[in-house]
Amino acid sequence: MAGPDLTGTQRYVGTLMQDRVRITSDPSGYDDDTWDPDLRRYTQAGATTVYEGPAMVSVQVSVAEQDETQGGQEVSTPAATAAVPLTVDGIVPGQWLTVIAVNRRGDQHLVGRTFRIGTVGGGTYAVLRQLGLEERVVAEPRK
């Protein structure tokens, strides 16, 4: 049984993807990353690019209840998601997504932020590929 033709919907959703991201696979993880003091961030030495192109990126912050594992303090947890075209293959959990540009009216503070892909979503009538993200937060190396 053939499902509905979602070509037009996919095309429309594609016009909404005005951010630009790079998704990389880095089998060595953090071990070979190097600190760039000018950019004030780590660069991945052994990473290969899986995808570079349009996307939609969203980060919301929710405040959790007091958590005993965090010393009884309220904890802010960023919930980040991204969407890429459904035609993009090869994205798996554990890869890295870096925001390289946002649309001119978007949040410019997203540029340069790196997230670990935690989940890759899809579905029977999907028109985009949804990614659940966890932000990579690293500190400057000690001197």
- Sorted by where each starts, the structural domains of the chain and their CATH numbers stand as 7-135 (2.40.10)
- Amino acid 131: pLDDT: 95
What is the CB neighbour count within 10 angstroms for residue 131? 25
The number of angstroms, rounded, from the C-alpha of 38 to the middle of its chain's C-alpha atoms is 23
Token reading at 21: 């991201």
- Amino acid 95: pLDDT: 92
Which pTM was predicted? 0.76
N-to-C CA span, the chain: 64
Q: What is the pLDDT of residues 82-121, one digit of tens each?
A: 999 998 999 999 899 999 999 888 888 899 888 889 999 8
Strands 41-43 and 128-135 come out as unpaired
Q: What is the pLDDT of residues 4-54, one digit of tens each?
A: 888 888 888 888 899 999 999 987 666 677 777 887 667 777 789 999 999
- Amino acid 9: pLDDT: 82
The number of angstroms, rounded, from the C-alpha of 121 to the middle of its chain's C-alpha atoms is 13
91 forms bridges with which residues in the sheet? none
Q: What is the mean pLDDT of residues 127-132?
A: 92
- Amino acid 52: pLDDT: 97
* Ranges of H-type helices in 3-87: 7-16
